[in-house]
């Protein structure tokens, strides 16, 4: 049995394509998809933060698992080079600040 040839892939950016920095990602899951909401956290007072969401992306469970695998591999490599990434204590509703 011969392997199927790999398709040629052409990637183009849509006119609305933008790049942003996110230090907040909220995730909602359903039976059919995962919804990732990206935003920026800003300290507004000593005891308060504001999260400004700017993009929501739906991904299939298959794409979510592929993303998980990619992130696990690359985070492991990053930590091998630079040391453990420590997470801050969690705030309300499980949001990592």
**Per-domain boundaries in the chain:** 24-85
Tell me how far apart the alpha carbons of residues 25 and 43 are, in angstroms, rounded to a whole number: 16
pLDDT digits (tens, 9 = 90+) for 33-63: 999 999 999 999 989 999 999 999 999 999 9
- Alpha-carbon distance of 75 to 35, in angstroms, equals 22
Would the pTM count as exceeding 0.95?
Answer: no
Give 4-29 pLDDT, tens digit per residue: 889 999 999 999 999 999 999 999 99
In sequence order, which residues have a C-beta less than 8 Å from that of residue 35 and are 6 or more positions away?
27, 28, 29, 56, 57, 58
Give residues with Cβ within 8 angstroms of 5, minimum separation 6. Answer: none
């Amino acid at each position: 049995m011969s392997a199927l040839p790999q398709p040629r892939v052409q990637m183009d950016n849509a006119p609305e394509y933008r790049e942003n920095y996110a230090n907040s990602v909220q995730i909602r899951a359903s039976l059919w998809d995962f919804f990732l909401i990206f935003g920026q956290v800003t300290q507004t007072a000593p005891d308060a933060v504001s999260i400004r969401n700017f993009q929501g992306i739906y991904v299939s469970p298959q794409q979510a698992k592929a993303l998980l695998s990619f992130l696990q591999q690359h985070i492991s490599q990053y930590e091998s080079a630079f040391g453990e990434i420590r997470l801050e204590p969690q705030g309300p509703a499980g949001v990592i600040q």
